[in-house]
């Protein structure tokens, strides 16, 4: 079965073709970074308009790369939420229109479930059950993935998502949008030990996180010391170290308490080199296997949507109604659509 995947939840237009026999046949991505850069963050209305412009050329490009025609498609998967409402509507309307024209079903996909399943696109994929750490611009969650479609949130952030904290601290340090990867780059020049950030929630029971205090701590350090480049790099290093450590502490606790032997890490922040290093070390120490998506599938992409859609398609969980409905807020495993 050949599934077209469409991702338009935020500032990346992603399209991919996944074949349940042949695997990933093609994937195309257009990043709107340059469009939003002058505003220092994503402007939702501009994001929607740009998805309208880019979707069709990307679909044409993906079909060409996959060496197939529109008529070869069996289903169309699209991100139905969570995300920016206007941006989601562009993808949903496109998917529904194409499904009507081709007389094939659609598969609405949960963006975070797709992130969670992205490592399954790799060779030697993880097997259920596993623990998943989802770290993106809007989410920070530890999830017990018992089976495909069976997820339980074990812990989550009580305030900012970790990616959001990276972005806000990057802004404080004067770095351009998108802040997370820029901050990670700057941290490479930082000196360990100059600043020592707290580890929020580390001393408390449970698996929840908190990142807004780290942002305030970074702001105070910046106001006092952040005049030169070295000090800014040192703040970036210390912030990244504390954010990563906070994630690792809870992963260790979850692995120990629940005897997980596999940890899947996904979402934009899973591209962070320090997080990857520290979690690999945790895996070695605890005897757990750690799985990451390849770097280009850590952040938003169409491949994870096409893949997730194909799994639901194979279970017959498709949709043929023409209602264009999206879910800007959507708790994973809660609403079924």
List residues binding Zn ion (CB under 5 A). 136, 300
In whole angstroms, how close is the CB of 27 to Zn ion at the nearest point? Answer: 15
Restricting to residues 116-155, name those near ligand KG4 by CB under 6 A. 136-138
Q: What is the per-residue binding string for ligand KG4 in 207-246, x denoting contact by CB under 6 A?
A: ----------------------------------------
Q: Which of the ranges 21-29, 69-77, 147-155, 175-183 carries the binding residues for ligand KG4, by CB under 6 A? A: 175-183
- β-sheet bridge partners, residue 263: 131, 290
Asked whether position 86 contacts ligand KG4 by CB under 6 A, the answer is no
If the CB atoms of residues 136 and 318 are measured against Zn ion, the closer one turns out to be: 136
Name the binder of 269 from Zn ion, ligand KG4, none, CB < 5-8 A by kind. Answer: ligand KG4
Residue 160 neighbours by CB under 8 Å, 6+ apart = 168, 210, 211, 212, 215
116-146: b (≥16 Cβ within 10 Å) or e? bbbbbbeeeebeeebbbbbbbbbbbbbbbbe
Nearest to 251 by CA among 228, 219, 272, 278: 278
C-alpha 298/C-alpha 269 separation (Å) is 7
If the CB atoms of residues 105 and 179 are measured against ligand KG4, the closer one turns out to be: 179
In whole angstroms, how close is the CB of 136 to Zn ion at the nearest point? Answer: 4
In whole angstroms, how close is the CB of 73 to ligand KG4 at the nearest point? Answer: 25
Residue 250 neighbours by CB under 8 Å, 6+ apart = 142, 155, 201, 207, 208, 209
C-alpha 170/C-alpha 276 separation (Å) is 20
Gyration radius (Cα) of the chain, Å: 20
**DSSP assignments along 307-319, one per residue:** HHHHHHHHTT--B
Asked whether position 306 contacts ligand KG4 by CB under 6 A, the answer is no
- β-sheet bridge partners, residue 107: 77
Among 81, 91, 178, 190, binds ligand KG4 (CB under 6 A): 178
In whole angstroms, how close is the CB of 119 to Zn ion at the nearest point? Answer: 14
If the CB atoms of residues 2 and 177 are measured against ligand KG4, the closer one turns out to be: 177
Among 299, 308, 310, 318, binds ligand KG4 (CB under 6 A): 299
Asked whether position 163 contacts ligand KG4 by CB under 6 A, the answer is yes
Among 300, 302, 312, 319, binds ligand KG4 (CB under 6 A): 300
Tokens standing for residue 140: 């920070």
If the CB atoms of residues 243 and 254 are measured against ligand KG4, the closer one turns out to be: 243
C-alpha 29/C-alpha 58 separation (Å) is 7
Are the CB atoms for 99 and 59 separated by under 8 Å? no
| Contact positions vs ligand KG4 (CB under 6 A) | 10, 136-138, 163-164, 166-167, 178-181, 184, 267-269, 271-272, 299-300
């Amino acid at each position: 079965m050949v599934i077209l995947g469409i991702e338009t939840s935020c500032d990346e237009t992603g399209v991919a073709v996944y074949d349940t026999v042949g695997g990933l046949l093609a994937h195309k991505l257009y990043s709107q970074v340059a469009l939003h850069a002058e505003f220092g963050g994503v402007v939702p209305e501009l994001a929607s308009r740009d998805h309208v412009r880019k979707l069709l050329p990307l679909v044409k490009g993906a079909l060409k790369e996959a060496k197939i025609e529109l008529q070869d498609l069996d289903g169309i998967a699209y991100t139905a939420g969570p995300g920016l409402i206007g941006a989601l509507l562009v993808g949903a309307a496109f998917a529904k229109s194409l499904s009507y024209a081709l007389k094939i079903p659609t598969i609405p996909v949960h963006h975070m479930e797709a992130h969670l399943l992205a490592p399954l696109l790799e060779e030697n994929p993880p097997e259920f059950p596993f623990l998943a750490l989802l770290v993106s611009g809007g989410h920070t969650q530890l999830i017990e993935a018992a089976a495909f479609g069976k997820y339980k949130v074990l812990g989550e952030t009580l305030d900012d998502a970790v990616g959001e904290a990276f972005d806000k601290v990057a802004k404080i340090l004067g770095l351009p949008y998108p802040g997370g990867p820029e901050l990670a780059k700057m941290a490479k020049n930082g000196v360990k030990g100059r600043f020592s950030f707290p580890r929020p929630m580390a001393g408390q029971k449970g698996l929840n996180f908190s990142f807004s205090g780290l942002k305030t701590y970074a702001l105070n350090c910046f106001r006092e010391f952040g005049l030169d480049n070295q000090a800014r790099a040192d703040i970036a290093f210390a912030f990244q170290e504390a954010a990563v450590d906070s994630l690792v502490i809870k992963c260790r606790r979850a692995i120990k308490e629940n005897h997980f032997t596999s940890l899947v890490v996904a979402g934009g922040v899973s591209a962070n080199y320090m997080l990857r290093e520290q979690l690999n070390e945790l895996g070695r120490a605890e005897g757990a296997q750690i799985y990451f998506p390849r770097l280009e599938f850590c952040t938003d992409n169409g491949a994870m949507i096409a893949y997730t859609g194909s799994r639901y398609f194979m279970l017959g969980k498709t949709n043929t109604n023409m209602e264009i409905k999206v879910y800007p807020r959507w708790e994973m495993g809660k609403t079924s659509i």
